[in-house]
Amino acid sequence: GTSLPSVAPICASSLAFNPTSHIRFKPNSVEAASELPPPRPAPEGMRLVKKADARFPVCGPSPTRRRRASANADAARTTRFRASTGNAGSLVASDKLHAPALRRAEAAGIVTLALDPKGFATRAAFDAELFARVAVHAPDLIVLAGFMRIIDPAALAPWAGRIINIHPSLLPKYPGLHTHRRALEAGDPLHGATVHYVTAELDGGPPIACVEIAVRPGDTPETLAERLLDDEHRLLVATVGLIAAGR
């Protein structure tokens, strides 16, 4: 399987996105620093810290939140995806049969998949079937966004290093739910979102990139979530685009 390095994300501030900043890859046990490519301009000030192998993302399983799903569909539509076979394409999948993400993807000419977990005896059986159907499309990358399910480790194993997720906290802080409330209760001056590799540990995979925002006096979990949401979209789309480009 693919070995995932333990790395710390480099964050971009939403208050000062700098288009002239650079991507820098952090060496791991396989890559020596001398083998790394020179810095390249990064859109919207993002910097990745782990060179990814994936070049052809599949956007899914899809989010249950409409706006984040729309960001995924836009990324799939506007980014050139090229597989080793020379074919290009993408998939948006959901565990919600009537998810707006599916309709938006269809309107953009993207293949969709809806699979209802209620039709399966166990979570493991659903996950096995879902990922078997995704595998038919031979993705190099699977993007989870708002997929509010813990995935069975056996279903994840074949995708090690090829499946990422976005989580609304500055990981490793606040894995799981209610991240905005927990950040406020802790008195954090900064909050944010992180794109990370998916492992069997809930929100515990190595981070790739993150974005941070300042917590303002009087913020509530709702205002903090709303203010962060656009930056979550920008982070996810930029990260997928850079991975697709082999950066």
Positive or negative torsion for Cα 197, 198, 204, 210: positive
Catalytic residue among 98, 137, 167, 191: 167
Q: Are strands 190-197 and 163-167 parallel, antiparallel or unpaired?
A: antiparallel
Number of Cβ within a 10 Å radius of residue 101? 31
CA dist., res. 203 & res. 164, Å (int)? 10
CA dist., res. 167 & res. 199, Å (int)? 13
Is 167 assigned a catalytic role? yes
CA dist., res. 195 & res. 236, Å (int)? 7
DSSP track, 87-121: ----EEEES-TT-HHHHHHHHTT-EEEE--GGGSS
Cβ(115)–Cβ(60) below 8 Å: no
Give me the residues paired with residue 145 across strands.
166
Read off the DSSP letter of residue 10: P
Crossing angle for the helix pair 66-78 and 221-244, to the nearest 10 degrees: 20
Read off the DSSP letter of residue 218: T
Known catalytic residues are 167
